[in-house]
Structure 1
C-alpha cells in the first residue's frame, strides 16, 4: 500500500511548535508522506520554528497583510488552502488548536470531503467570547473533524459531552511537551546580549508575557502597573518581559516598565531561546495558553493573567493559578510566591497533567488505525 499523504496546515508560532513533533513522526514513518503547509499568519516566527526543527514546508500561502481583519484572514486561508488541496490531493488534513488558520483550513478540507484531523481537540473555556475568537474556532472545527486528538482526559470529556463518538477520540498528551523536551536539550544561546547579561547574576527571575486580545487596554495597563509595583517592592528579583509586536501591547507596557533597572523589556524570542528563559525563571506570569503547558513541565509555577482558561487541568493539579488582571490580585499572588517558600514548593512540585513527551508517537499510531494500517496506543494519563 502506498503511503497516505498527510497535509499538516499551520500558521502561527504556537501551532508550529505543536505540529513540529507530529511532522517529524510522519517523516519517520513508512506509512505516511508528510506535506507541511504554512499560511504565514506569524511569518517570521514560523520560519524560526521550522528552522529549529528542520521542517521545509511544501507551500507558504503568505496570507497576512497590514491591518487585516479576522474575516480577511479566514477568507484568504480558505481560498489559499483550497488551491493547495486541489494541487496535492492529500488523504487527510491535520490542523492544530484554535486559530483562524485552523478554522479556515478545516472548512476548506471539509468542503473537499478530505478528513480533518484535529490536534489539541476538546479544549473549552465555556465562554464563546473568551478567548476570542479561539473558543469559537475550536468549537466550529470540532463539528467537521473525523479524528479528535485530545491532549487530556478532561478535553476528551468535553468532546463526549458534545456528543462526539468515543471511538473518534484519542488522548495523546500535548505535543508541546514533546517539542519542549527536545528543545530544552539544545540549550540555545540568547541572541540578545542584554538578556544574557541580565540573567548572569544569581538573582531570581520572573518571566512575564501578555498579548491576548481581551486583555488589551486598561487590563494590560493594570498588569503592567502590578509588575512595576512588584519590581519596586522586590529589587532582589529581576523581571523579563518579551513584548508582543502589537503596538497596543507596547503602549500599555513600556510607560510603566522601561525606566526600571530590574525589569528588561525585550523583543519576542525565538522558541529555543524562550524555552531556555522559562527554564531560567523562578515563576511565570502569563496570559498565553501554551506557556500554561510548557512552564509546569519544567517545574515553574504559573500565574495566569486571565479570567478563565481552556486548560483547567493544571489549575486542578495546583501548578497553575488563575488570577485575572486586577492589580491587587496580581501583587498578592506574586508576593505569595516570592515570600512563602512552602507555597512556592507546592506549585513547583505539582504533577504536570499535560504530557509525557510521547504525543507524537500516539498521534502517528492513531493515524495508522484511522487508515486501517495499525492500532492506536494506550491513551495518555498523567
Structure 2
C-alpha cells in the first residue's frame, strides 16, 4: 500500500531476533504499518532459526547502513564529534522509505540504530526499555547504553513496572512509557506452535506504536500481577 508506514525492526543477535519476532508478526497484522526487518549481514545463517520458527527474515542489511563501516564505528565517530557518518546512515534509511525505527534492549547495535534514527528525525521506539542484562555494577557499559538510547527514544516500552520506575528515575516522561509485559513469554508461546504467542506483550507494543504514529490508541499498561 502506498500509505503504509515503514518501521525498521533492528536486531543484531539471534537472541534479539527471537525476542522481536512476535512484534514483527503482530505489526504485520496492521494494514497501515509495514515492518521492515534489518540486521547486520542480512543473509547470515545466524538468523536461520528465526526464519524457520517465525518466517521472519532480515530484509535490510544494516552493515550497508554504515556506509562501508559497521554501525558501531558510526557511533564511535559520532561520539568523537564526526556526525557526517550518522547523517549518511540516516539518509540510507530514509531513502528506503523508513519512517521510524524500533530497537531492543541495550546492545551497541540498538544504540547505533537509535542514534541514526534520531539524527534522521525518525521516531525511535525502545523495546525492553529500562532493562540491563546484568547488574549495572557488573556491566556498566550496558547501563550507559540503555540510558543513551532513552535520551533519543520517543517511546519507551518497559516489560514491568520495575523498569518503568527505573526510566522515570532517569528522567523519562511517564507519558512516554508503556508497560508491555515480557516479550520472551510471547516468544516461548510462538515457538511452541502459536504463531502470535498469547499476544499480550506484542499486542501492547503494536498498539503503542500505532498511537505514536497517530493510527490508534495504546492499550492499558500490563498489570504487574498478570506478568509471567
Q: TM-score range by the shorter chain?
A: 0.7 to 0.9
Q: CA RMSD in A?
A: 2.8
TM-score, scaled relative to structure 1: 0.49
Q: 1:359 to 1:81 in 2, by over 3 A?
A: farther
The alignment covers a number of residue pairs equal to: 206
Matched, 1:365 2:204: no
Partner of 1:139: 147
Matched, 1:84 2:67: no
**Residue pair 1:147, 1:168 contacting (<8 A) in 2 also:** yes
**Residue pair 1:26, 1:364 contacting (<8 A) in 2 also:** yes
Give the distance between the partners of 2:92 and 2:184, measured in 1 at CA. 26
Instruction: Tell me which of 117, 133, 155 is aligned to 2:163.
Output: 155
List per-residue Cα deviations over 1:189-215 (Å, max 9, x = no partner): xxxxxxxxxxxxxxxxxxxxxxxxxxx
Partner of 2:80: none
Partner of 2:47: 46
Partner of 2:72: 74
CA displacement at 1:176 relative to structure 2: 1.6
TM-score, scaled relative to structure 2: 0.80
CA displacement at 1:131 relative to structure 2: 2.4
Gaps of 5+ in 1: 64-70, 187-354
**Residue pair 1:94, 1:117 contacting (<8 A) in 2 also:** yes
Matched, 1:35 2:43: no
Give the distance between the partners of 1:4 and 1:73, measured in 2 at CA. 24
Q: How do residues 8-19 of structure 1 correspond to structure 2 at under 5 angstroms?
A: 8-19=9-20
Q: How do residues 219-238 of structure 1 correspond to structure 2 at under 5 angstroms?
A: none
CA displacement at 1:41 relative to structure 2: 9.4
Moved more, 109-118 or 370-379: 370-379
Give the distance between the partners of 1:368 and 1:59, measured in 2 at CA. 22
Q: 1:40 to 1:134 in 2, by over 3 A?
A: farther
Give the distance between the partners of 1:81 and 1:147, measured in 2 at CA. 21
Partner of 2:185: 177
Give the distance between the partners of 1:41 and 1:101, measured in 2 at CA. 14
List per-residue Cα deviations over 1:76-111 (Å, max 9, x = no partner): 587685353132232210001111110111111111
Partner of 1:3: 4
**Residue pair 2:42, 2:60 contacting (<8 A) in 1 also:** no
**Residue pair 2:50, 2:57 contacting (<8 A) in 1 also:** no
Which has the larger Rg? 1
